[in-house]
Chain A
Amino acid sequence: MWKSTERKGELVISGITFCVGFVGILMSRDMPKGEYSVPGPGVFPALLGILLCGVSLALTVQILFGHKPEKKVVAIGNRYIWATTAAIIGISFFFERLGFILVMAFFVGFLLRLLSNLRWIACILWAFVAAIAAYGFFHFLLGVQLPSARWF
């Protein structure tokens, strides 16, 4: 688990939003601006980028020079958080390649093992049961088209 003071974290976030605004301004330079009476697609993002940079800068100044009586320490993340986030993002790569049932079974099994006291074999069994039940509920009952594996 990382630890950071609240002030440092806020500064990092305001810095990131400043960078996002700046990237917005840079990328909107290549977009057509149109005319004054018919604004093009580049106008709004450029305007928003400028405003975001300005507000982020003001926020940074406020954080740096504003009065904070105590240095509050904030704990960030632990293995459950990073593992779960990585698993969710990883699902997007394998979802259509391996199919809903297999991917969900692995995902649920992984989470059950991570979060509960169940043994691996119990996690995998329950995970497959849950994945098949979810497939039946969403695919057949609700009509949501879920992917089957590419080799089926």
Chain B
Amino acid sequence: MDTIRHLLDGFQIALTLMNLFYCFIGVLWGTIVGVLPGIGPMGGLAILLPMTFKMEPTSGIIMLAGIFYGAMYGGSTTSILLNIPGEAASVVTCIDGYQMARKGRAGPALVVSALGSFVGGTLSIVALMLFAPPLAKVMLKIGPGEEFSLMLLALIVMSFVSRAPMLKTLTMILLGLLFATVGMDPFTAHPRFTFGYTGFAEGLGFISMAIGLFGISEILINFEEIASVEALKPTLKSLLPRWKDLKDSAGAVGRGSLIGLVFGFIPGAAHIISAFVSYAVEKKISKHPEEFGTGRIEAVAGPETANNAATGSALVPLLVLGIPAIPSTALLMSALLVHNINPGPQLIQNHPDIFWGLIASMYVGNCMLVFLNLPLVGIFVNFLRIPYSYLAPTILVICIVGVYGVSFNTIDIAVMGIFGIIGYLLRKFRFDVSTLILAVVLGDRIEMSFRRALTISEGSLLILIKSSFSKVFVIAALLILILQTIAWLSGFRIRGETGSSNTQN
């Protein structure tokens, strides 16, 4: 009862005209920055952060939170339309979402993605509201050992999900992990593989690599047959999902919500891991797993739902413990600190208006996002009408600006170009670039958690399987590995054939 009462108080705060206005600005801005590859939620938050210094703290945090979860909505748009992941968790959406767009089904993909995001986002807010303190206790139990075993599970799931043969996938995973070591060592600041160039001190840059491997390579592949690349002419009917699409997605949305909520408590990589696990689950239970990678709607609905379901959980460490688990929440934290509000265990008691106002505004913002994004589907899909000889230069300019805007380093543009040609060649010979980029994303965290775990345990590897969480993750990883090895040795293929003409591989 207390929770309901607090929530109603929160709605009283969130539904004032001023806060509704700021919430709308936040979600609109978040959608725009999510759509534009490279700029992302961090860039969007950083641009509007100074504006919040003169605002009421509740209004400021409502606007910034709107940007944060709005960007999750927007990130799927470029993944589906252009095969350019708006942010890390949208990489999975590229796999089938883009194939749907190529078949003239961009509209249903975008609509289902928006609806799934709404469901996932709403459930995550409910979880945040009801379970924030106990969730925080669970998060405190996730130490480096548990994190390492979870990342290992994620890597093995990746190899299961990929359409490429196992050895090719493993090669890409290991290559991605090695690329992730470029830059300054996070513990000792020792330069690794920088060749003396300070521009590589912060690594190769995930955004440059992702845009290169996906977006630029896709453009280069299309340039092979530029004369025959036709602009799509979507009709109103083709914008809307069919009844079958909604039926097929319903189960995926439900499962994705659960997966996002369960994995959302993993600090840091929750969005990425939950999206990936959702994809793997949908592929595993599908009656047509061989069609994954060619444009299955469940493969869009599930991961996008899981991704957004993990959003609320990402705020739990910040609000309840005062620990920003991901960089975007660090900016939210700075907005609170500027107003002398300390996020942490005392926030709910000392500033209930901020906590409950934020929760209520997230409900409101989530509704705004679905009403904003659904009508925009028609506008987004109509971008595909533009002849490719004009569309390609536009996309390239946006990519270049997006990549440059991350750290204002021109070497990132060159990295993007080089990885574009690398991605092109890898895809021509059926290597899976999505596993490479996902290994890059997880690489840092895997190494850090491994080294921290060994330091804490003074060299004992048992820390990696000591806790119940670790045991579950390791057993799951071993089971998948054993099943795959048996299938490989016996000549059966768990994954679909690689003989299709799908350019994703």
Chain A contacts to B: CB under 8 angstroms: 6, 9-10, 13-14, 17, 20-21, 24, 27-28, 31-32, 35-45, 48-49, 51-52, 55-56, 58-59, 62, 74-76, 78, 80-81, 84-85, 88-89, 91-93, 95-96, 104, 107-108, 111-112, 115-116, 130, 134, 138, 142-146
Query: Are the C-beta atoms of B170 and A55 separated by less than 8 Å?
Result: yes
24 chain-A/chain-B pairs, Cβ below 8 angstroms: A6-B430, A20-B175, A21-B174, A24-B178, A27-B192, A27-B193, A28-B192, A31-B192, A36-B459, A37-B455, A40-B190, A42-B192, A44-B447, A45-B178, A52-B178, A55-B170, A56-B171, A58-B167, A76-B428, A88-B400, A91-B410, A93-B410, A115-B226, A145-B405
Q: A85-B417, A95-B410 are contacts. A111–B447 as well, Cβ < 8 Å?
A: no
Whether A85 pairs with B220 at a CB distance below 8 angstroms is yes
Chain B positions near chain A (C-beta within 8 angstroms) = 33, 36, 39, 43, 47, 165, 167-168, 170-171, 174-175, 177-178, 181, 185, 187-188, 190, 192-193, 216, 219-220, 223-224, 226, 387-390, 392-394, 396-397, 400-401, 404-405, 408, 410-414, 416-418, 420-421, 424-426, 428-431, 447, 450-451, 454-455, 457-459
Q: Which residues of B contact A62 (CB under 8 A)?
A: 165, 167
Q: Which residues of B contact A56 (CB under 8 A)?
A: 171
CB neighbours (8 Å) of B412 from chain A are: 92
Tell me if A81 and B171 are in contact (CB < 8 A).
no
Minimal beta-carbon separation of A73 from chain B (angstroms):
11
A contact face: mostly helix, strand, loop, or mixed: helix
Residues of chain B within 8 A (CB-CB) of A48 are 174, 177-178, 181
Bound together, the chains give a CA A32 to CA B429 distance in angstroms of 37
Q: A32 with B220: in contact, given A17-B171, A88-B396, A116-B389 (CB under 8 Å)?
A: no
- Partner pick for B390 among A17, A43, A107, A116, CB 8 A cutoff: A116
Number of A-B contacts (CB under 8 A): 174
Contact of A41 among B188, B220, B400 (CB under 8 A): B188
* B418 x A89 contact (CB < 8 A): yes
Q: How far is the CA of A144 from the CA of B401 in the complex (A)?
A: 8
| Residues on B with beta carbons closer than 8 Å to the beta carbon of A14 | 171
A95 touches B413 (CB 8 A): yes
A17-B175, A130-B397 as given contacts; A88 in contact with B451, CB under 8 Å: no
Closest CB of chain B to A33's CB: distance in Å? Answer: 11
Are B413 and A80 in contact, CB atoms less than 8 angstroms apart?
Answer: no
Instruction: For the complex, give the distance between the alpha carbons of A112 and B396 in Å.
Output: 12
Which single residue of chain A is at the shortest CB-CB distance from B221?
Answer: A81
Q: Is the CB of B185 within 8 A of A41?
A: yes
CA gap between A107 and B220 in the complex, in Å: 16
A150–chain B nearest beta-carbon distance, Å: 13
Q: Which residues of A contact B421 (CB under 8 A)?
A: 81, 85
Contact B426 A13 (CB under 8 A): yes
CA distance A44 to B220 in the complex (A): 34
B178 touches A84 (CB 8 A): no
- Cβ of B414 and Cβ of A89 under 8 Å apart? yes
Could you say which of B178, B216, B223, B447 contacts A20, with CB atoms under 8 Å apart? B178
C-alpha spacing A110/B79, complex, angstroms? 27
Of A88, A91, A112, the contact of B420 (CB 8 Å cutoff): A88
Q: Is the CB of B226 within 8 A of A107?
A: no
Which residue in chain A gives the minimum CB-CB distance to B32? Answer: A142
Q: Which 5 A-B pairs have the closest CB atoms?
A: A37-B459, A88-B417, A41-B185, A115-B389, A92-B414
User: How far, in whole Å, are A7 and B397 apart by their CA atoms in the complex?
Assistant: 35
* A49 in complex: contacting residue of B178, B223, B397, B405, CB < 8 Å: B178
State the CA gap A48–B220 with chains docked (Å). 30
Bound together, the chains give a CA A89 to CA B418 distance in angstroms of 7
Q: Are B410 and A88 in contact (CB under 8 A)?
A: no
Contact (Cβ within 8 A) A41 B192: yes
Set B168, B187, B193, B401: member contacting A59, Cβ < 8 A: B168
A residues in contact with B424, CB < 8 Å:
81
Cα distance A116–B397 when bound, in Å? Answer: 17
A92 contacts which chain B residues (CB < 8 A)?
410-414, 417
A43 to B188, CA, bound (A): 13
CB-CB under 8 A for A142 and B455, given A31-B190, A41-B188, A80-B223: no
List of A residues within 8 angstroms of B219 by Cβ:
84
Specify which chain A residues have a CB less than 8 angstroms from the CB of B175 in the assembled complex: 17, 20, 52
Docked-complex contact A13 and B390, CB < 8 angstroms: no
Are B426 and A52 touching (Cβ within 8 A)?
no
Set A49, A55, A89, A95: member contacting B171, Cβ < 8 A: A55
Besides A38-B454, A55-B167, 18 other A-B contacts (C-beta < 8 A): A6-B429, A6-B430, A13-B429, A20-B175, A45-B178, A52-B171, A55-B174, A56-B171, A88-B413, A89-B414, A92-B414, A93-B410, A104-B397, A107-B393, A115-B389, A134-B401, A142-B33, A144-B43
